[in-house]
Amino acid sequence: MRNSLFFLFAMTVMALLPNSCADEDSAQNPVIFADVPDMSMIRVGDTYYMSSTTMHMSPGVPVMKSHDLVNWEIVSYAYDILDYVPELRLENGMNAYGMGSWAPCIRYHDGTFYVSTFSGTTDKTYIYTTEDIENGRWQNISFSPAYHDHTIFFDDDGRIYMIWGVGRLYIAELKEDLTGVNEGTERTLIENASEPAGDDISLPSEGSQLFKVNGRYYLFNITWPRGGIRTVIVHRADEITGPYEGMLALEDRGIAQGGLIDTPDGQWYAYLFRDYGAVGRIPYIVPVAWEDGWPVLGDNGVVPDILDLPASKGLIPGIVAPDDFTRQEGEPDLPLVWQWNHNPVDEYWQINRDEGYLRLTTGRTVSGFLQARNTLTQRTIGPVCTGITTVDVSGMTEGDYAGLALLQYHNGMIGVKYENGKKYIAMVVAEGDNIIDEERAELHAEMVYLKAECDFRELADTARFYYSLDGESWTRLGPGLQMRYTLPHFMGYRFGLFNYATANAGGYADFHYFDITGEISR
């Protein structure tokens, strides 16, 4: 996955707008217009489960559930905290932006669910197991090294295999207890897995996912021919250890990386994703037919815009959702749609379950937004979306900045700054933690409404920021933000609720709700 960094911008430039003329009774691609990259998918009975990359976010490796391949909801995370290294804790000036955990693999075998991932941040491979994927507790196994873009496979003879690599692909048997690779079993599986796409390759093959259909093994990978687009490569073999023969399986708009899934009635699909500018990497479902023992993806090599699947019911509340921060007895403090930017520091955030607000308290001073702990995030969604929050700033102290952000390396924020004894509404555009533009208005109130609107249509990737004192009459502030999918973060923009201190720790801001809609005012 990481090797695609240097080519991501080229794909963004070449991308076209996903079709917006949907049949109301049919599903439409993309099936999720939000950042859900590196998907891995299984079916257990009539239920599908999918895992995905969320990198430096906590909790991490979301597990999503669907009954129709179109309408998904988050039901679990493989881990609350990946590890406790300084990079994941935003300590000592370090961070895990663009890192964390990548490209999970989800499996089901003999009544147990498995989700594996790997991390360049810790140089470890992680395997999480549970018997109850929606409500159970996950057990954690980890070992070194980090096996890049690996796939785990439970074969019929009881052996457990792992395949991984970039360009040259490797295979090894895993120990029965999954605590590492069996010594002496590692070997080259395919010398040059990119070969079916030609000999002039910018991105060598990666993203391995292995499947077994009618006794034959099918290995999915992506590659990137120089001057071309991200391309799906499929290899097949009669034995898991090979020999493998390969073919170019799909070359359409860069829709690539994923694997195979079947329905209870015997239909086959591929799940893949597409780089789509600032909103991130968005999932597509692709019909699959079988010819001469090969999976044939798409309609005459083209991924259809309309699918013979049930229509989408919308992303809310399955992937994103509003929150008034009130909680009933037995409910968790935070619904699963929320993720923290890096590991949270629990003593500096709390939910007032009765009055309904999230309190973010500063625990240290920092140089800027990207070093702020306890920024609480949700995905942005396309083609357009709006995030709104209201914040009580009466508990802020000198040097604090609290509000609503669009999180990426090239970020934008609207919030309240407390400087020289006065409070200001401030809209900031920053590159990393370096402010490159700012506009402000003096504030004479303790409660303020904040709004950010995102337009991803035709890759416009623009955002505008507003404030209000009554939640009805809005004033635009600042130049707005030209959103960019930047390589240092390698993820789509997220809404973030934040509060950080530059002078004195201990101030707090109370967020009384967060609302997200698929509309904008322009």
Write the CA distances from 309 to 261, 264, 303, 396, 416, integer angstroms: 14, 13, 14, 50, 46
pLDDT band at 24 (very low <50, low <70, confident <90, very high): confident
Interatomic CA distance for residues 11 and 268, integer angstroms: 27
* Domain boundary residue, one of 307, 327, 358: 307
| Phi–psi pair at 197, nearest 5 degrees | -95, 5
In a domain, 161, yes or no: yes
Q: Are residues 270 and 356 in the same domain?
A: no
Q: Are residues 387 and 289 in the same domain?
A: no
Does the pLDDT value for residue 195 go beyond 60?
Answer: yes
Give CB contacts under 8 A, 24+ apart, made by 236-245: 236/293, 236/294, 240/153, 240/155, 240/161, 240/171, 240/210, 241/171, 241/187, 241/189, 242/189, 242/190, 244/189, 244/190, 244/217, 244/219
Looking up residue 280, the CATH number of its domain turns out to be 2.115.10.20
Interatomic CA distance for residues 223 and 207, integer angstroms: 9
The DSSP call for residue 175 is P
Q: Are residues 288 and 353 in the same domain?
A: no
Looking up residue 508, the CATH number of its domain turns out to be 2.60.120.200
State the average pLDDT for the chain: 94
In a domain, 120, yes or no: yes
Interatomic CA distance for residues 232 and 236, integer angstroms: 13
Q: Are residues 303 and 398 in the same domain?
A: no
Q: Are residues 292 and 350 in the same domain?
A: no
pLDDT band at 23 (very low <50, low <70, confident <90, very high): low
State the residue range of the domain holding 162: 2-307
pLDDT at 5: 36
Q: Are residues 367 and 415 in the same domain?
A: yes
Peptide linkage before 283 cis (omega within 30 of 0): no
Neighbours of 271 (CB within 10 A): 23
Q: Are residues 274 and 360 in the same domain?
A: no
In a domain, 328, yes or no: no
Q: Which structure tokens are listed for 336?
A: 């699963």
In a domain, 317, yes or no: no
Interatomic CA distance for residues 28 and 306, integer angstroms: 5
Share of the chain above pLDDT 70, in %: 96
- When divided into structural domains, the chain yields a total of 2
Residue 184 makes CB contacts below 8 A (sequence gap 6+) with none
In a domain, 137, yes or no: yes
In a domain, 19, yes or no: yes
In a domain, 148, yes or no: yes
Does the pLDDT value for residue 198 go beyond 50?
Answer: yes
* Domain boundary residue, one of 291, 307, 323: 307
pTM beyond 0.85: the answer is: yes
Interatomic CA distance for residues 501 and 362, integer angstroms: 6
Q: Are residues 401 and 286 in the same domain?
A: no
In a domain, 312, yes or no: no
Does the pLDDT value for residue 1 go beyond 90?
Answer: no
Q: Cite the DSSP H helix spans in 63-194.
A: 86-89
Q: Are residues 168 and 21 in the same domain?
A: yes
Q: Are residues 433 and 512 in the same domain?
A: yes
Cβ–Cβ < 8 Å for 277, 485:
yes
Q: Which structure tokens are listed for 477?
A: 């502030």
Per-residue model confidence as pLDDT tens digits over 396-432: 999 999 999 999 999 999 999 999 999 999 999 999 9
